Amino acid sequence: MSKLSLDKILQSQGFGTRKYCRELIEDGEVSIAGETVRGYKQALETEGLRFHIFDEDWEYRAHVYIALNKPANFECSRKPSHHPGVLTLLPEQFSWRDVQPVGRLDHDTTGMLLMSDDGPFIHAQSSPKRHIPKVYQASTAEAVTPELVNTLLAGVQLHDEPAPLAAQTCRALDTHRIEIILEQGKYHQVKRMLAAAGNHCAALQRTAIGKLTLESLQLQEGEWCYLTPEQLALLVPTA
């Protein structure tokens, strides 16, 4: 339980500077339980607090945990150079509260991208020590053969890597599609592993992280959702 004044609450939720949030309140833009609130000084209980602003209902969240079904041609970088950034797919409040992608997908990779403003969560999810499996489905230029699967399982040597990298598991999905599960998240890892194994990645989608599947989220490309505590629990690696 923690109490905060309404201007601090709005600021923490990404509605702008404290001064701007005070102006919003004084201008009658904020209501709680159907009543316009014009005073910002009174401390309010944040837990479970719902408020209405700019014709939208919001719920106070100490942190946000989001899954986005990333479309192609969006960059995960904070300073995108050739394509729009993934943050442009989310409400602008999330940029103000410093929501960031958890790891990165290439601009042409689609699928599940986690995003959050919780630093320790981002760090834990990105840490190679946690061995969180990431599931990818790749379309390949050349046919998927048993040799390709075996090579990826045995490990391939990538330029600049000290040791060969292997898929945790890997299986053919059809003649030109393969599922690869990785525990590491090296730069362009799937594409480089496929190239090192003599094939070429024509399209790539991340379909799951840990036990949380993209399918279960039922998001169209470009859509996002808040993750529930139950869904967050599925991201934790199993022993």
> In the complex, which residues of this chain contact ligand URA (CB under 6 A)?
105-106, 109, 136, 188-191, 204
For ligand URA, the closer CB: 11 or 205: 205
State the minimum distance, in angstroms, from the CB of residue 78 to ligand URA.
16
State the minimum distance, in angstroms, from the CB of residue 182 to ligand URA.
7
For ligand URA, the closer CB: 10 or 158: 158
Distance between CA 10 and CA 237 in Å, rounded? Answer: 34
The DSSP string of 62-84 is SS-EEEEEEPSS-B-SSS-SSS-
State the minimum distance, in angstroms, from the CB of residue 4 to ligand URA.
38
In terms of Cα–Cα distance, which of 203, 233, 235, 236 is closest to 221?
203
State the minimum distance, in angstroms, from the CB of residue 27 to ligand URA.
44
Helix axes 146-154, 189-196, angle to 10 degrees: 120
For ligand URA, the closer CB: 22 or 192: 192
For ligand URA, the closer CB: 22 or 191: 191
- Please check whether residue 180 is in contact with residue 84, taking contact to mean a CB–CB distance below 8 angstroms: no
- Please check whether residue 157 is in contact with residue 196, taking contact to mean a CB–CB distance below 8 angstroms: yes
